[in-house]
Amino acid sequence: MTDASEWKGGVGRKWANEWRRTDRSFSGLTERLLGRASGNGLFHVLDIGCGAGELSLAIARGHPQSQVIGIDISEDLLSVARVRGAHLGNVTFEHGDAAVWCKDSFRPDRLISRHGVMFFPDPVAAFTHLHAISADNAGLFFSCFRSPAENPWANGIASLQPGGKQPPPPGGPGPFAFADKDHVHAILNAAGWREIEFEPFDYAYIAGYGDDPVEDALEYLSTIGPAARVMAELGETEKAAFIDRLRGYLHDHRSGKVVAFPGAAWIVSAMH
């Protein structure tokens, strides 16, 4: 599991350095999520766990009349987002925990998040707080992974490590905490949200691209994500063997200039 303290430190720095490849990997999902979250009457937008700012910047560009605030606990990621958004006057990025953050006179009518809500220590309390600071009839839109079984990159990478450890189960701490839609529905319902809906969305998780997409993917996955976490815990001999297995696994998923895996997400929506 990646917890808040890690995002505030080395993990956040690594993701900040990899923002281009991260945005690329989620490009298909981002487009769909933005399509669901956009619409009329969009004036005050809160991007939860905004990271390097991809969603915030897209909303700000497409809705110049709106005020967009991105919030994240990683100062390193926020530094990237601020540079990317320096030319836009209607977006700001703030350091904070969305579970307790609030701003006088800012009551969001849209709350959005790309895979940024699965790590709340107390999700009911967090979503209750977000409900409390939102405008009447505000819309909540976020994406989260479906089960590891539907995301073969997760099981595949897990199977390469010594002992073949599997990702944490749905409902437990980690990236698949919100895989079970009944579990998520119960959280949102307890927090006061209504009209809760789940759209299953499949997309290409792009890990590598270019003339040597396998090495591009290897560099990317060796820096952030589950493979990087495995490698950090291995000795040099085991690490070298793991990298060889990972390189072969990536080669099996290469098609021309792309290394991609099936990705499976929920796009969750709810109303205030």
> What span, in angstroms and rounded, lies between the C-alpha atoms of 139 and 113?
12
Residue-range domain boundaries for the chain? 4-149+167-205+262-271
> What does the pLDDT read at residue 155?
82
* Phi/psi at 238 (5° precision): -65, -35
Query: Which amino acid, 22?
Result: T
> What does the pLDDT read at residue 13?
83
> What span, in angstroms and rounded, lies between the C-alpha atoms of 122 and 249?
36
Decide: 230 and 157 in contact? Cβ < 8 Å.
Answer: yes
Which residues of the chain are under the pLDDT cut of 50? 1
At the top level of CATH, the class of 4-149+167-205+262-271 is alpha beta
Query: Which amino acid, 133?
Result: I
pTM exceeding the 0.95 threshold for the entire prediction? no
Q: CA gyration radius for the chain? A: 18
Structure token pair of residue 228: 């990087």
Structure confidence by residue, pLDDT tens digits, 90-109? 999 999 999 999 998 899 99
Structure confidence by residue, pLDDT tens digits, 171-212? 665 788 999 999 999 999 999 999 999 999 999 999 999 999
